[in-house]
């Protein structure tokens, strides 16, 4: 027995030493109240970067392009503690920056990022996530050339998901292989505008490992971003944007840009193979039928940059496929939900719960809650079962020769005429009770009750031309003094000096951002819904067909979607005109347009009984002009 005592003592000593060490071991993922908890140190997080090999050679240099991936993850993450990944892939990290404050990446001497834009890293890394800021191919520190929604854009991001799941190669800065042995492979993609567009695009490939996406003000079809039924918003825009985001010398990617200009079909405005490659609902590289990820959509109905038909058509396609989904619909312009007044805390918590559900598997009930949050007035929100409001009823409003708009058809053979000239929207809606050669206008009487539009109106016109072609514009207008979101000014928000913080900070990367308030203005009218079409594309987006002069033809198309309440005592107006110079670079054709009023209408999905808290009338801090003329959107509305 005495010979065993030294051995027993040694074992006891080993246990005594080991127990405190084990007690101080790295923290594990901790969940409380349905949310992962901040148990990992942000200051001590691993900051590194790798280069993922894609499957494309977009700059035609004979080598596959490599995607620069900047990584921040918990120090404890590794083979024994694998964490999921949140990805923001962007072309904007070294030009316009990200977020309302235009943050850019900041690097240390070793080339690692010390400041990651936005709050995602500050908030989610302590809660057991890795955050990846990915430079889109052709931008910042990635190789290749940007091709604006095409093959390189899509497959570069897909390669990152593949690398996280062991299906693609990556290299450290010294050229040695990089293995993602610290991740579960479960990933999310998030981002506003182009960043969210990349999330839509990669999800449409059906790549395994992408569990959820959060596209904010994102494109689902680049045709819809630069076209409306044959009407061209901006000429040679894709090549312009490619040059804007490119970090290479001017000449390196010039052949790629020249190819875009040759293929974009600006001369006709038709949908062709160029746009099919850049269509994520039903395109050449992927489509909605392949989407494996859940989708949390955020968009605003007054976003005249990434116009809201990009979210409404994507949302409907997802619904038709029964994809797990959630949506927030706001009323500002091109604004991130982090900057929706009064909802920043709710946004961060909702996003947290969404990521916890799909990446950590936390059963927190978020998928059992109302699917849609909808802004119905300045900073006034409701929740509902879905969007658009599932209980909306469609009403057809019909124009008459006396300028009225009602439920009954006009008298047979009654017509109205105008000439297709380029007009601003301000001119189109001015003095609607007076004749104007460039437009016709119709209004209802004062509404006996409030009517909420929720969804997408349909313009249905029977017209004849004296020339083979004309553009048509349909505007649905609310006439009545009211205080509304002033989305034209500052995208609809004013940035304050006061900050609040979400997540942990370091001296190099703080988690604090300036608060915002919603801009409002009291005006006598508001253009609610807009729709444009080239008459030649009335039957097909891919094949324009002239309307024989002197012959009537039916032109039916969807306007942009909206969610808006026409209040009791206001009047609803319909304005029909030619070329809308506010949103297109095209010039009018000069065609004389005759509208058969008896066979023309606009169909609107209306909801009754939506609660509408009064907007305070003391809005002097944010008051806009009260004159009839509407200000045009601020310069640069086409940037994103």
**411-431 b/e with 16+ CB inside 10 Å = b?**
eeeebbebbbbbbebebbbbe
* Alpha carbon distance 27, 445 (integer Å): 67
* Alpha carbon distance 482, 376 (integer Å): 14
Catalytic residue among 88, 121, 303, 486: 303
Which helix H or strand E contains 574, and what residues bound it? strand 571-577
* Alpha carbon distance 72, 131 (integer Å): 5
Active site residue 303: yes
Q: Are 148 and 238 in contact (CB under 8 A)?
A: yes
Which of these, 619, 571, 606, lies nearest to 379 by C-alpha position? 619
Which helix H or strand E contains 159, and what residues bound it? helix 151-164
4: phi then psi, degrees, rounded to nearest 5:
-85, -20
Active site residue 352: no
Which helix H or strand E contains 46, and what residues bound it? strand 46-53
Q: Are 313 and 221 in contact (CB under 8 A)?
A: yes
For the chain, the helix, strand and coil percentages under 3-state DSSP, each to the nearest 5: 20, 35, 45
DSSP code, position 71: E
Q: Are 557 and 229 in contact (CB under 8 A)?
A: yes
Reported in sequence order, the residue ranges of 335-434 that DSSP labels E, i.e. its strands, are 372-377, 380-384, 393-399, 405-406, 415-419, 422-423
Other Cβ atoms less than 10 A from the Cβ of 608: the count is 11
Other Cβ atoms less than 10 A from the Cβ of 240: the count is 15
Catalytic residue among 193, 228, 294, 600: 193
Catalytic residue among 49, 299, 334, 638: 334
Q: Are 86 and 120 in contact (CB under 8 A)?
A: yes
Question: Could you give the dihedral angle defined by the CA atoms of residues 55, 58, 63 and 64, in that order, rounded to the nearest 10 degrees?
Answer: -20
Tokens 């909206």 belong to which residue?
A: 562
Q: Are 241 and 594 in contact (CB under 8 A)?
A: no
Helix axis angle, 254-263 to 237-245, nearest 10°: 160
Which of these, 476, 446, 450, lies nearest to 577 by C-alpha position? 476
Other Cβ atoms less than 10 A from the Cβ of 79: the count is 8
Which of these, 46, 195, 52, lies nearest to 131 by C-alpha position? 46
Whats the size of the chain, residue-wise? 640
* Alpha carbon distance 35, 490 (integer Å): 35
Question: Largest alpha-carbon pair distance within the chain?
Answer: 118
- Among all residues, which ones are annotated catalytic? 193, 303, 334
């Amino acid at each position: 027995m005495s010979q065993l005592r030294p051995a027993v003592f040694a074992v006891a000593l080993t246990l005594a030493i080991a127990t405190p060490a084990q007690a101080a071991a790295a923290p594990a993922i901790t969940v409380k109240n349905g949310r992962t908890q901040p148990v990992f140190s942000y200051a001590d997080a691993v900051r590194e970067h790798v280069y993922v090999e894609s499957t494309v050679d977009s700059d035609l240099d004979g080598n596959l392009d490599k995607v620069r991936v900047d990584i921040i993850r918990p120090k404890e993450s590794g083979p024994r503690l694998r964490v999921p990944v949140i990805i923001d892939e962007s072309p904007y990290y070294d030009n316009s920056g990200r977020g309302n404050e235009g943050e850019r990446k900041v690097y240390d001497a070793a080339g690692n990022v010390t400041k990651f834009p936005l709050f995602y890293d500050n908030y989610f890394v302590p809660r057991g996530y890795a955050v990846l800021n990915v430079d889109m191919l052709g931008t910042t520190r990635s190789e290749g050339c940007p091709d604006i929604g095409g093959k390189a854009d899509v497959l570069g991001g897909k390669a990152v998901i593949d690398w996280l799941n062991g299906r693609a190669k990556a290299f450290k800065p010294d050229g040695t292989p990089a293995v993602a042995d610290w991740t579960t492979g479960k990933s999310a993609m998030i981002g506003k505008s182009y960043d969210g567009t990349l999330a839509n695009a990669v999800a449409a490939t059906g790549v395994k490992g992408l569990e959820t996406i959060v596209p904010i003000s994102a494109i689902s079809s680049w045709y819809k971003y630069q076209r409306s039924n044959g009407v061209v918003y901006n000429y040679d825009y894709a090549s312009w944007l490619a040059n804007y985001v490119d970090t290479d010398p001017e000449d390196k990617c010039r052949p790629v840009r020249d190819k875009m200009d040759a293929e974009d079909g600006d001369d006709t405005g038709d949908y062709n193979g160029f746009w099919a490659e850049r269509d994520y609902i039903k395109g050449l590289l992927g489509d909605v039928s392949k989407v494996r990820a859940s989708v949390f959509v955020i968009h605003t109905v007054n976003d005249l940059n990434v116009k809201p038909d990009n979210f409404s058509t994507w949302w409907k396609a997802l619904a038709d496929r029964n994809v797990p989904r959630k949506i927030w619909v706001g009323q500002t312009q091109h604004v991130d939900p982090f900057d929706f007044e009064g909802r920043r805390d709710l946004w961060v918590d909702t996003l947290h719960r969404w990521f916890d559900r799909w990446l950590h598997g936390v059963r927190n009930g978020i998928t059992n809650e109302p699917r849609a949050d909808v802004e119905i007035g300045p900073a006034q929100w409701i929740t509902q079962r879905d969007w658009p409001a599932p209980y909306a009823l469609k009403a057809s409003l019909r124009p008459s020769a006396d300028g009225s708009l009602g439920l009954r058809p006009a008298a047979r053979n009654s017509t109205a005429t105008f000439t297709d000239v380029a007009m601003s929207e301000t001119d189109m809606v001015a003095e609607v009770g007076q004749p104007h050669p460039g437009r016709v206008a119709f209004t209802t009487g004062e509404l006996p009750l409030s009517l909420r539009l929720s969804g997408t109106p349909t313009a249905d016109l029977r017209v004849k031309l004296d020339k083979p072609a004309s553009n048509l514009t349909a505007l649905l207008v609310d006439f009545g003094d009211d205080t509304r979101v002033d989305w034209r000014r500052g995208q609809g928000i004013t940035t304050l000096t006061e900050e609040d913080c979400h997540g942990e900070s370091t001296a190099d990367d703080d988690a604090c951002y300036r608060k915002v308030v919603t801009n409002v203005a009291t005006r006598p009218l508001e253009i609610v819904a807009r729709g444009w079409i080239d008459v030649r594309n009335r039957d097909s987006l891919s094949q324009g067909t002239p309307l024989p002069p002197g012959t009537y033809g039916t032109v039916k198309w969807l306007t942009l979607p909206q969610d808006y309440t026409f209040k009791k005592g206001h009047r609803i107006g319909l304005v029909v005109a030619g070329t809308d110079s506010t949103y297109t670079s095209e010039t009018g054709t000069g065609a004389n347009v005759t509208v058969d009023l008896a066979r023309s209408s606009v169909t609107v999905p209306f909801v009754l009984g939506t609660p509408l808290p009064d907007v305070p009338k003391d809005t002097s801090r944010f008051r806009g002009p009260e004159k009839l003329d509407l200000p045009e959107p601020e310069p640069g509305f086409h940037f994103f």
